[in-house]
Structure 1
Amino acid sequence: MLYTEINYTDKLDHIVSEAIDYLSASLQANTIFFSTTNGTVNTIRRVFNRRHKLLKEGEIRDYRHEFCQVVTKSEENPLVINDLSLHPLTKGHPVTRMVGTGSLMGVPIYTEDNEIVGSLCVLDLDPYHFAEEDVRLMKMLGFIINQSLMLEEALITDRLTGLYNRSYIFDHFPCYSTTHSRIAVLYLDFDYFKEINDIYGHAAGDKALQSISRCLTTYLPSHSTVARIGGDEFVVLLPQENTPLTQAYIRDIFDHIYRECHNEGMIIEGDKIFFTFSAGVSMYPEDGNVMEELLNKADMAMYGAKDKGKNRVEFYKEEILGTYTRNFLIKNELKQAVQKEQFHLMFQPLIELGTNRIIGAESLLRWTHPYLGVVSPFEFIPIAENAGLMRDIGSWVLEESFRLTGDWIKSRKDDFQLAVNISPQQFEDRQMAENIIALLHDYQIPPSQLNIEITEGMIIRREQQSLDLLRTLKQEGVQIALDDFGTGYSSLSYLASFPVDMIKIDKSLTMNLDAASNKKIIEAIIRLAESMDIVPLAEGIETQEQLAFLKENACLFGQGYYFDKPMLPEAFASKYLQGDIV
């Protein structure tokens, strides 16, 4: 981090002032000053003049023609010149030509990375013999200022990435906002960072964060300020300069970062990992005047981006506040929902389309809260996933499904199938297969009558672990269904490589057969399933027309409101366990 990026802080200013006061009391030299440089200009920050006013605070001069450059370029520390007119470094210097003769002692001030900040100097118009104790004092004060600067830098720097940290963003914003009429606050979260840490280890996670940091600093506008504020979260302050801060302009920046960072990727243990971000944006002064408020609102918008599928940017709106408050409440209440027995299961029949015979049931999670009422799974499950709660909730679903259906399966003579959805967080547990097998044994359910439903995204995130886990279940006889097929990655390689028994055609295709493309997709999926000896099942059947199309194209199984809606276990048992026909 360059010192020119760091504001001249009050703490450093105080230390420099004390050093100058100490020197002025100990030495009789005319002028004592502290100056900073960016390599082009030299700025006088603090100065003491005794008799002649040689310098004044705030004065800006050409760095090449100042004694500061002589001090910083010299290998001596401190540089001691008793007579300017005689020393080889200063006898032809522009300042010497101006003052005639005199003396100089100075120490360079630099950052921990050896970036030159400036110098602390003592200057007199007459030759002056600096005593040994004067030199020691100057060296000691220079050391103190250097150490103070390094401490200040450490306090505002993220050590892993070299970016600014949270403290700097908060401390710097008041000054930043006085010099810019509008500022966009971008809150960026690295999607799936936890998976990199879990799969490849924390060292790989650190490497990924460093790579992301380099990408951000390379491809963001040069006048922006980038900070890592914790974990995989980054904040960008983007001031309005020549280009108005429109939503379109900010989206273009986000798209540019995505293209460059995603295409660049990084190699971890031979695997190429691609980056995506979820981003939220708040605007100064429209959304707030202080950093805390702006950051909170950008954070809310970022979670809105995650809720909409990640890898996108969302802008703060007032409506988000209500949603965020509700989401926070839901997340908080979900933590106690299992213990307070607020969850329950419902079951929807799975049907053989050619005969209308029931072949099994899918177990579906529902939540009724004392004052929130019935909360849709489309609302609470993504929140539970983001909060890391689905592993425990999913474990409850598995065991409760087995408890409720164990007697059904025992009472029927046919091969009644129980379908249970597995969450991504459960799938990350290396012990998941063993846990399922143990539960099957405890509830005396034949493994061949359990159908585990997973999604393509879950396989892709941890390919080898997924394959090992599914093979373990298959060896026990458990059936594997690929859920929501036709909407995600839909890679043939996964169907060929993984032990899949059933494809569940996503209801978004089944329910929209007016679109010719959807019909073609369904036809192709069914043919693909047949060629690979995989059973197709269509979700979301609601009309006779949809059913007729599916039967015409040899789709073997289905489910949906056309047959029946999900129902409580007692109602399901009463209606379906006595007969086979819907």
Structure 2
Amino acid sequence: MSTSFSELLRVDKLTGCKNYLGFLESLAYHSLPDEPTDEHPRDNKIGKCRLNTSIFSAIIYVDMNDHSALNEIKGKTYGDSILRWMGILLYEESNSDVYRLGGDEFAVLLKIETREEHLELIERIFKRMGREARQLGFTREAADIALVFFDETPNRLDTILINMDEAMTKVKDDRDSHFMTFNVIDFIDVPFSGRGLLLSNIHQVLEMGKILDDVQEEAYTDAISGLPNMKAALLNMENGARKLKGESKNLFHIDDRWR
């Protein structure tokens, strides 16, 4: 079965996982509006909303260790294979969509019934990761993991990303463990000065995904209208790619400016 252009836009070409655009869309389009208004529906969707807990129960946030060192010691090709390994491992163990958020960071959106089952999954991931990582050259745990449980607490999309970052910071600061669990309420009082910049980045990524979908649809329409229109179809595609490059060379990855 062929893969559509729209689907490819949401795939990380290195690992085959879904990318940052796919991740944001999965969260945004499975969220329920909280006190919606007719004035700014798009702002409402991205801003004040609550995650639909009938769709997702928790998120696994993975930050790899020593990837940069292995990249330098064994070369970029080997480093790339390590990233693909992590994506495959997470997918096979969770049987859920895996997202590469940028660099060596991954996320998995879960729908599991009980907390015990969540923890059993994490245990399986670490057990397999530890066994295979030693063969791949890791000298310590291959990754740190934060497991954030969702509930009915209203969650803005940018807040979810902020909470993920705060959770991973806590895991990294804990020298005795490579894994911690969190609840949404744990982050109620977390300050964040770059919220506006982050929200702008989210808007940019989601809007660009929509623009490129529209460009693809226009190009397809032109192409099937007849051979003389093939040039116009290709021009539409080129214009879309040029616009994407001009907007942001790193658009489909987490922008380090908000960290």
| The two structures share one fold, judged by TM-score above 0.5 | yes
1:68 is matched with: none
Asked whether the equivalents of residues 19 and 101 of structure 2 are also in contact (C-alpha less than 8 Å), the reply is: yes
Q: 1:233 aligned to 105, 112, 115, which one?
A: 105
Paired AA for residue 236 in structure 1? V
Paired AA for residue 228 in structure 1? R
Tell me how far apart the structure 1 counterparts of residues 108 and 63 of structure 2 sit (CA, whole Å): 11
CA spacing shift, 1:180–1:321, aligned 2, 3 Å: closer
Tell me how far apart the structure 2 counterparts of residues 283 and 272 of structure 1 sit (CA, whole Å): 29
Q: Are 1:210 and 2:78 matched, yes or no?
A: no
Tell me how far apart the structure 1 counterparts of residues 26 and 185 of structure 2 sit (CA, whole Å): 26
SS at 1:265's partner residue? helix
Q: Are 1:111 and 2:14 matched, yes or no?
A: no
What are the ranges of 5 or more consecutive residues in structure 2 without an aligned counterpart?
32-51, 195-259
Tell me how far apart the structure 2 counterparts of residues 287 and 296 of structure 1 sit (CA, whole Å): 15
What are the ranges of 5 or more consecutive residues in structure 1 without an aligned counterpart?
1-109, 113-148, 329-582
CA spacing shift, 1:205–1:168, aligned 2, 3 Å: same
Shift of 1:274: 6.1
Tell me how far apart the structure 2 counterparts of residues 255 and 315 of structure 1 sit (CA, whole Å): 16
Shift of 1:295: 2.6
Tell me how far apart the structure 2 counterparts of residues 321 and 203 of structure 1 sit (CA, whole Å): 42
| Cα deviation digits, residues 238-292 of structure 1 (max 9, x gap) | 024xx22x2x432221111000121122645xx4666532222333344544443
SS at 2:178's partner residue? coil
Paired AA for residue 306 in structure 1? K
2:147 is matched with: 281
1:187 is matched with: 61
Tell me how far apart the structure 1 counterparts of residues 12 and 178 of structure 2 sit (CA, whole Å): 25
Paired AA for residue 213 in structure 1? G
| Cα deviation digits, residues 456-478 of structure 1 (max 9, x gap) | xxxxxxxxxxxxxxxxxxxxxxx
Q: Map 1:262-281 onto structure 2 (within 5 A).
A: 262-265=130-133, 267=135, 271=137, 275-281=141-147
Shift of 1:322: 5.2
Q: Map 1:313-324 onto structure 2 (within 5 A).
A: 313-316=180-183, 318=185, 320=187
Asked whether the equivalents of residues 58 and 111 of structure 2 are also in contact (C-alpha less than 8 Å), the reply is: yes
Counting helix residues as a fraction of each chain, which structure ranks higher?
Answer: 2
Tell me how far apart the structure 2 counterparts of residues 325 and 175 of structure 1 sit (CA, whole Å): 24
Asked whether the equivalents of residues 56 and 109 of structure 2 are also in contact (C-alpha less than 8 Å), the reply is: no
1:312 is matched with: 179
Tell me how far apart the structure 1 counterparts of residues 172 and 125 of structure 2 sit (CA, whole Å): 17
Q: 1:160 aligned to 11, 14, 17, which one?
A: 14
1:488 is matched with: none
1:200 is matched with: 74
- What is the identity percentage for the equivalent residue pairs of Structure 1 and Structure 2? 24
Shift of 1:237: 0.4
| Cα deviation digits, residues 305-327 of structure 1 (max 9, x gap) | 1110252123146555657769x
Tell me how far apart the structure 2 counterparts of residues 204 and 316 of structure 1 sit (CA, whole Å): 36
Q: 1:171 aligned to 25, 37, 40, which one?
A: 25
Tell me how far apart the structure 2 counterparts of residues 212 and 297 of structure 1 sit (CA, whole Å): 23
Q: Are 1:252 and 2:120 matched, yes or no?
A: yes
Shift of 1:154: 1.8
Asked whether the equivalents of residues 156 and 164 of structure 1 are also in contact (C-alpha less than 8 Å), the reply is: yes
Asked whether the equivalents of residues 53 and 150 of structure 2 are also in contact (C-alpha less than 8 Å), the reply is: no
Paired AA for residue 154 in structure 1? L
Paired AA for residue 129 in structure 2? C
Paired AA for residue 219 in structure 1? E
Tell me how far apart the structure 2 counterparts of residues 111 and 290 of structure 1 sit (CA, whole Å): 35
SS at 2:54's partner residue? coil
Counting strand residues as a fraction of each chain, which structure ranks higher?
Answer: 1
Tell me how far apart the structure 1 counterparts of residues 100 and 27 of structure 2 sit (CA, whole Å): 15
CA spacing shift, 1:287–1:158, aligned 2, 3 Å: farther
Tell me how far apart the structure 2 counterparts of residues 181 and 164 of structure 1 sit (CA, whole Å): 18
Tell me how far apart the structure 1 counterparts of residues 181 and 103 of structure 2 sit (CA, whole Å): 21
Tell me how far apart the structure 2 counterparts of residues 286 and 250 of structure 1 sit (CA, whole Å): 18
1:13 is matched with: none
Stretch deviating more after TM superposition (276-285 or 201-210): 276-285
Tell me how far apart the structure 2 counterparts of residues 287 and 186 of structure 1 sit (CA, whole Å): 18
Tell me how far apart the structure 2 counterparts of residues 318 and 153 of structure 1 sit (CA, whole Å): 34
Paired AA for residue 293 in structure 1? T
The aligned length equals 173
Tell me how far apart the structure 2 counterparts of residues 273 and 213 of structure 1 sit (CA, whole Å): 20
Tell me how far apart the structure 2 counterparts of residues 275 and 172 of structure 1 sit (CA, whole Å): 29
